[in-house]
Amino acid sequence: MKSMVLTIRQLSSMKNIVASLSFLLFFSTMAFSQASLPPLAKSPMDMSYYPANYPVLKIQDKIPEPVAVRVIYSRPKKEGRPIFGGLVEYGKLWRLGANEATEIEFYKNVSIGDKKISKGRYTLYAIVNEKTWTFILNRDTDTWGSFKYDSTKDIVRVEVPIQQQPTSAESLTMSFEKSATGCNLAIFWETIKVALPIIF
Amino acid sequence: MKAVNYVIPVLLLICLHSCKEKPKEPIAEKKFVTADTTGALPEEMGTNTYAAVDISPMDMSYFPVDYPKLKMANDSIEPPLVRVIYSRPHLQKRRLFTSILKYEEPWRLGANESTEIDFFKAVTIQGKKVNAGRYIIYCIPHPDKWTVILNSNIDTWGLKQDAKKDIQKFDIPSTSNNPLLEYFTMIFEKTSSGTDLVMAWDDVVAKLPIEF
């Protein structure tokens, strides 16, 4: 019985250790935070090039072809939520990411869905449906989300079919794939893949 | 019986100890991992087969500050003036000038890709004119000042600078003993003649004055 009491005491001292550890942790976190500077984005930004990994290949002198396109987007996570038809509602405009609107830049003139596109920066949106996505290329750049979307600034709209994938992507992912006529902007999230053909 | 009573606290101790340690995760193959990009990996790093979420996430700052949000609120806003796109390495219990950077050695001002700065109109920095356009920006830190360099070799990875393509160099003072920052941070602050590009990490802050 005596030894049982000892155990309880030990347990209670263990609790104190845990408490003081959390206390320390709390204050070390405080020390790192600074009100005036921006915190890390919950959906971090990322950038993809075509050719894929162009910046790395460039310093290795292994560039397979001139840089053609890049996309800058933010990467929200699924976090257990239903995405398509859920978080991203069918039939509604989506910024294809989070935070700032998704930016696509063409380093040379390209074609998308028979439309000639001059080189430069554009905003890319999508309307997601069950079987297809409609991509919208718009010339209003440096904007937030899709809240101020102005259809008079649309350059082209293209509808592409979805492709079901065997695995689920937790974070929204964009990358470029080589195609016979240029490249595809491939977008993955949940178990959906969509590929937007870019011709050059 | 006595022995059993001691087993419980011992087990608890082991539990407590293992809680303090970060779970060991498989390290995804990563090209060019250097001091400013190492550390514990975010949960999805090894499992996203398309493109892993980066340990040093990218971020973007505009001047005017929060331009995309301002634009959302104001249809007739003037175009933005500057923006910077950079990656945000974090300290992870290291100190900036003891284990991450070395004085007198070029640093990409971030991680991964070279840090990119877009001037949407011509600006003046320390009396020198800088044309509108896209540049990469890197620095050479010294103990009490940084040399900040604009270079025309854009769309490149940050580990190798081509000094032949340097456009302008600016020496700016740096201060230490500022509040500690876990993540490298670049932001614009409004000044009377334009904006300062604030570069802050650990307790070090350097500011590049940009005039419009």
> Would the CB atoms of A188 and B50 count as touching at under 8 Å?
yes
SS3 A44: coil
- Please tell me if residue B9 touches chain A, with a CB cutoff of 8 Å: yes
pLDDT band at A34 (very low <50, low <70, confident <90, very high): very low
**How far apart (Å, rounded) are the C-alpha atoms in residues B149 and A124?**
32
In angstroms, the separation between the Cα of residue A128 and the nearest Cα of chain B is 21
- Sort out which chain B residues have CB atoms less than 8 A from A186's CB and list them: 50
- Sort out which chain A residues have CB atoms less than 8 A from B31's CB and list them: 53, 56
- Non-local (6+) Cβ contacts of A50 within 8 A are A67, A68, A69, A70, A176, A178, A183, A198
Reading the block at residue B12, the tokens are 């608890």
- Sort out which chain A residues have CB atoms less than 8 A from B185's CB and list them: 37-38
User: Which of B2, B4, B37, B53 best tests the A interface by mutation, with the highest count of A CBs <10 A?
Assistant: B53
Does position A144 have pLDDT exceeding 60, yes or no? yes
Burial class (CB in 10 A: 0-12, 13-18, 19+), A164: exposed
Nearest to B95 by CA among B204, B185, B207: B204
Chain B, window 102-131: residues with a beta carbon less than 8 angstroms from a chain A beta carbon? 112-114
Q: Give the residue-averaged pLDDT of A34-63.
A: 87
Q: Residue B10: what pLDDT?
A: 45
Q: Residue B35: what pLDDT?
A: 59
The pLDDT profile of chain B, 212 residues, written as one tens digit per residue, is: 445 455 444 444 444 444 433 333 333 333 444 556 544 444 555 566 677 778 888 999 999 999 999 998 888 899 999 999 999 999 999 999 989 999 999 999 999 999 999 999 999 999 999 999 999 999 999 999 999 999 999 999 999 999 999 999 999 999 999 999 999 999 999 999 999 999 999 999 999 999 99
Break chain A into its structural domains and give their ranges: 1-38, 45-199
Q: What is the pTM of this model?
A: 0.79
Taking every pair of Cα atoms in chain B, the longest distance, rounded to a whole number of angstroms, is 83
**Backbone conformation region of residue B141, classed left if phi is above 0, alpha if psi is from -120 to 50, else beta:** beta
Q: At what angle do helices B2-20 and A2-32 cross, to 10 degrees?
A: 10
- Sort out which chain B residues have CB atoms less than 8 A from A17's CB and list them: 16
- Can you give the three-state secondary structure of chain B, one letter per residue? CHHHHHHHHHHHHHHHHHHHCCCCCCCCCCCCCCHHHCCCCCCCCCCCCCCCCCCCCEEEEEECCCHHHHHHHCCCCCCCCEEEEEECCECCCCCHHHHHCCCCCCECCCCCECCEEEECCCEEECCEEECCEEEEEEEEECCCEEEEEEECCCCCECCCCCHHHEEEEEEEEEECCCCCEEEEEEEEEECCCEEEEEEEEECEEEEEEEEC
> Would the CB atoms of A147 and B72 count as touching at under 8 Å?
yes
Percent of chain A whose predicted confidence (pLDDT) is above 90? 76
Let me know: does B184 contact A84? Beta carbons within 8 Å. no
Chain segment A86-143, per-residue pLDDT in tens? 999 999 999 999 999 999 999 999 999 999 999 999 999 999 999 999 999 999 999 9
**How far apart (Å, rounded) are the C-alpha atoms in residues A99 and A86?**
18
Does position A145 have pLDDT exceeding 70, yes or no? yes
Q: Residue A81: what pLDDT?
A: 94
> Would the CB atoms of B50 and A18 count as touching at under 8 Å?
no
> Would the CB atoms of A6 and B5 count as touching at under 8 Å?
yes
> Would the CB atoms of A175 and B50 count as touching at under 8 Å?
yes
Model-level ipTM above the cut of 0.85:
no
SS3 A43: coil
Does position A188 have pLDDT exceeding 70, yes or no? yes
Is the N-terminal amide bond of B9 cis, ω within 30° of 0?
no
Beta bridge partners of A113: none
Percent of chain A whose predicted confidence (pLDDT) is above 70? 82
Does position A28 have pLDDT exceeding 70, yes or no? no
Q: Residue A193: what pLDDT?
A: 96
Across the interface, which of B59, B159, B198 has its CB nearest the CB of A45?
B59
Q: Residue B43: what pLDDT?
A: 52
Is the Cα torsion angle A58, A62, A66, A72 positive or negative in sign? negative
Nearest to A142 by CA among B65, B198, B182: B65
Q: Give the residue-averaged pLDDT of A53-67.
A: 95
Tallying the residues shown for chain B, one arrives at 212
pLDDT band at A1 (very low <50, low <70, confident <90, very high): very low
User: Which of B14, B15, B45, B58 best tests the A interface by mutation, with the highest count of A CBs <10 A?
Assistant: B58
Q: Which residues in A33-131 belong to E strands, given as ranges?
A: 45-50, 69-74, 93-94, 102-106, 110-112, 115-117, 120-128
Across the interface, which of A6, A11, A56 has its CB nearest the CB of B32?
A56
